[in-house]
Amino acid sequence: MLDVRLATPRTAPPALAVVVPADDLPTAVALLDESYRADAAAFLDDVEATGSAGSMQTLPRPGQRTNRLLFAGIGDGDEAGWRAAGAALAKAAKKDPTLTVTLPSWVSTASVGALAEGLWLGEYRFWLGGDLGDKARKLRRVNLRLVEASGSDPASGSGSGVEGGSGVEGGSAVGGGPAFAGGSAFAGALTAALVRARAIAEATILARDLTNMPSDRKSPAWLARQVEKAATGVPNLTIRVRDAAELAAEGFNGVVAVGRGSTRGPRFVELSWRPRGAARHVVLVGKGITFDTGGICIKPRTGMKLMRKDMGGAAAVLAATLGAAALRLPVRVTALAPLAENAVGDDAFRPGDVVRHYGGITSEITNTDAEGRLVLADALAYAARRLRPDLVVDLATLTGAQSVALGKRTAALYSENDTLAGELLTAAAAAGESVWRMPLDDDYVEALGSDVADLVNSTDVGAGSMLAALFLREFTGATRDRWAHIDMSAPAWSDSADAELVKGATGWGVRTLLRWLETVA
C-alpha cells in the first residue's frame, strides 16, 4: 500500500496537488506558494474548473522542479468528496514516485482520513499476470502538507512554501516514522485519523482480493486458510474452521448439501474478536459460495462468468472482523462464514430433496440455484441457538432481484428493528456505500410453504429479494427482533472505475460494518 503521511518535503516534489472546493477556486490558489499562483489562477479559469467531487485538472510545468500541478475537486467537502479526490489523485499521479498534497490548515481529521482512504482504495489493483511494464504504477509515497491560506506551512513555521525547500523533512507516518514537525496535538489527531483510515482500507482491500481471486484457486479450504493466516498472532482473535465431516456431525446440513456436488468440500469459518470488557456481542454472517454453477438447476454462461464473487458477503464480514481487531474496537464480534462450492457432480443435491438445517427446521429444495440461503440458514440458526448475540447482521450476494429493484450500486436492507436499520443506514451513508431499506411483507410468507417440509427454498411468485429475506428470518429464532439482512449482490462488483471503486470486486460492506461497529462499541 501507499505510504501516506503528514510531512513537509525538503525539496520541491515532482507533482504537487491542492484540493479545490466546489466553486471556490481562490481558496485552492491561496494554498499554493506565491510563485505558482498567477499561473494556477489563469489555468483554472481557462479550464472552467468547478471543484466537483473527484474532478481533476493537471497543469504541466515543463523544465521546472515541480513539473505538474494537480487540482483535485472535493465538492461540498463532505467525506465522499474527499474520498473521491483521493482516488482521483492516486490515478492522476500513478507515474510519479512521490506526490505532495497541500491541505488547508483548517482541514478536519475526518477529511484527512477520507482523503487517505480514497488514495488507498483508488490505487488498488488486482493482477495475476506477468510484468506490467509501462502500465505499472510508480507512486509509492504521498506527503500530506498543511499550509495556511497564504501558502505558509504552519508545522514548519515557514512562509516560503515547498519551492523554497525550508520545510522540515519527516512526518507522522502510518506504521511509524519521525514525529510531525511542530509536534502539535492536532497533528497527532490527524495521524490517528490516518491509522484508522488505513485499517479500514486494508480490510476493504482484503475483501476485494478474496473476492477477485479466480475460483480455480479459491476453494472453500483455500479461503479458510487465507483467513487463518490473517488472524495468526492477533491478540484476542480466535478462529475455528469446521470441515465437511465436522459439519455433517454437528448438523450443518444446508452447508453440507450445497457443497456435496464438488470435489472440494465445504468449510465453516468462525472468527471471533473478544476484547476484554466488551459489553455487547455482534454476530456477522456472510454467504461464502466460492463458485456457483447453479447446481443441477445450472446457470447460463452469462450468469455464471462472475460467480467467483458469490462469496463477497463472507469476505466482507471476515474482513470487517479483522478490521475491528486492528482498530481494537471494544465490542465482541463473531463472524460466521459458511463456505461451499455449488457444483454439478454425482452427489449434487437435487430439486425435491429435503434438508434438515442446524436446529431442526427443514426446507424442500425447489431450486438448487437458491443455495446461498441454505448455507446462511445454518449459520443464522447456529448464531441464535449457540452464540446468543445482542445483534445479528448478515450480508449476502443473494438475489438478482436486488439489482432489478435498486440497480447496481444500492444494496437492499431488511430488518424489523427500526433502530438497527437506522444505524446501518447511517453507517452506510457515512461510508459511501448506498443502502435502501425494503419491506418484509408477511403476506408473502404463505408462498414459502411446502407440502413435505417446513419451507421451500424458492418460489415463482416474484418479490425474490424479499422472499429470500423472509426465508432467512425463519432461522433467526430469538434474535429475530435484532437481526438485519443485507442483500448486496450487485454492489459487490463494479463494471468500471468510479471514485474509490475500481473495476472488479468492491469489498462492499466492510466500510459500512466498521462504521457501524464503531457506534455499537
Q: Is 373 a catalytic residue?
A: yes
Nearest to 30 by CA among 159, 184, 164, 166: 159
Ramachandran angles phi, psi of 270, nearest 5°: -120, 105
For residue 443 the three cell numbers come to: 403476506
Reduce the DSSP state of residue 312 to 3 states and report it.
helix
- What is the length of the chain? 521
Catalytic residue among 5, 141, 373, 482: 373
Name the helix (H) or strand (E) containing 381. Answer: helix 372-382
Grid coordinates given for 108: 478536519
The continuous run of DSSP H or E covering 246 comes out as: helix 244-250
| Phi then psi dihedrals of residue 492, to 5 deg | -70, -10
The C-alpha atoms of residue 76 and residue 520 are separated, in whole angstroms, by: 29
Question: What is the C-alpha to C-alpha distance for residues 319 and 354, in angstroms, rounded to an integer?
Answer: 33
Residues paired with residue 20 on neighbouring β-strands, in sequence order: 73
Rounded CA gap, 253 and 260, in Å?
10
Query: 51, 24 in Cβ contact below 8 A?
Result: yes
> Which residues of 180-279 form beta strands (DSSP E)?
237-242, 267-273
d(CA 94, CA 17): 13
Could you tell me which residues are beta bridge partners of residue 5?
Answer: 143, 173
CA angle 423, 398, 416 (to 5 degrees): 35
For residue 465, which amino acid is it? S
For the chain, what is the radius of gyration of the CA atoms?
25
Strands 483-487 and 410-415: antiparallel
Among residues 91, 299, 385, 437, the one annotated as catalytic is 299
Buried b (16+ CB within 10 A) or exposed e, 349-360: beeebebebbbe
Phi then psi dihedrals of residue 141, to 5 deg: -140, 140
Say whether 251 sits in a helix, a strand or coil: coil
The DSSP-derived string for 61-89 is -TTSSS-EEEEEEEETSSHHHHHHHHHHH
- For this structure, is 350 an active site residue? no
Burial label for 309, CB within 10 Å (0-12, 13-18, 19+), is buried
- Burial readout 184-211 (b: 16 or more C-beta within 10 A, e: otherwise): eeebeebbebbbbbbbbbbbbbbbbbbb
Which residues carry out catalysis?
Answer: 299, 373
